[in-house]
């Protein structure tokens, strides 16, 4: 490979690493053309890709980047698997390649500048996808918001109930003059006394 071609490959790899959300290094050997095509198709479906390049060029591309820790895992025929979207979905997709066995054996990964072991990538694959996490987070955010709206509306509804109660009380107050009707028994007293006069 000519010097210009090497520089082009390094620049392309640098750009890819710059856009990636996660990068995996795996051994890549003995895979059939059909297996390779199917794997690449499935990676593209989740906004990922696999790059195969010489270790020396990969080392140059990751130098000074958050992926520099992958250098210790380079050597032999390796494949770089990158995701440009949800790292969890990529981890799920990669672990689904299990039947390929040693043809695609994971060595290490980098997520957010942190090195992950193959076991940690397996654990990552078991997490909910970004969409599920966002919907769960939205649910958590909406619950307090609903309570807040209820609390903000409560003083108004409470005031409305107080005004209604005052109105009913005032309305009942206008009917209070009719209350003397309850004092009717004393008015019947003369009749009672008259009755007593007749007995005398």
Model confidence over 162-178: pLDDT tens digits?
Answer: 556 656 666 654 444 44
Kindly report, residue by residue over 90-144, the tens digit of the pLDDT: 999 998 888 888 888 888 899 988 888 888 888 888 887 666 666 666 666 666 6
The Cα–Cα gap between 31 and 79 comes to 12
The chain-wide mean pLDDT, for the chain, equals 76
The Cα–Cα gap between 135 and 141 comes to 10
DSSP letter assigned to residue 89? H
Q: In this predicted structure, what is the pLDDT of residue 177?
A: 47
The Cα–Cα gap between 153 and 130 comes to 34
CATH architecture of 3-127: 2-Layer Sandwich (3.30)
Query: Any idea which residue has 């043809």 for tokens?
Result: 103
User: Taking Cα atoms as reference points, which of 72, 82, 77 lies closest to residue 51?
Assistant: 82
Q: In this predicted structure, what is the pLDDT of residue 59?
A: 92
Segments making up each domain of the chain, as ranges: 3-127, 128-171
Q: What number of other Cβ atoms are within 10 A of residue 146's Cβ?
A: 10
- Answer yes or no: are the C-beta atoms of 61 and 13 closer than 8 Å: yes
- Answer yes or no: are the C-beta atoms of 40 and 49 closer than 8 Å: yes
- Answer yes or no: are the C-beta atoms of 69 and 110 closer than 8 Å: yes
């Amino acid at each position: 490979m000519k010097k210009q071609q090497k520089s082009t490959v390094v620049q392309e790899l640098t750009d890819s690493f710059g856009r990636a959300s996660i990068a995996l290094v795996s051994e890549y050997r003995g895979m059939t053309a059909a297996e390779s095509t199917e794997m690449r198709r499935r990676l593209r479906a989740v906004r990922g890709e696999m790059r195969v390049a010489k270790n020396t060029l990969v080392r140059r591309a990751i130098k000074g980047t958050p992926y520099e820790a992958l250098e210790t895992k380079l050597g032999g025929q390796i494949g770089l698997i990158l995701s440009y979207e949800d790292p969890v979905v990529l981890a799920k997709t990669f672990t689904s390649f299990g039947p390929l066995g040693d043809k695609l054996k994971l060595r290490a990964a980098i997520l957010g500048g942190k090195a992950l072991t193959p076991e940690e990538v397996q654990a990552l694959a078991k997490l909910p996808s970004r969409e599920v996490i966002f919907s769960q987070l939205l649910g958590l955010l909406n619950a307090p918001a609903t309570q807040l709206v209820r609390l903000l509306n409560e003083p108004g509804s409470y005031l409305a109930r107080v005004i209604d109660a005052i109105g009913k009380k005032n309305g009942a107050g206008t009917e209070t003059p009719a209350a003397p009707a309850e004092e009717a028994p004393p008015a019947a007293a003369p009749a009672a006394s008259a009755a007593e006069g007749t007995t005398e």
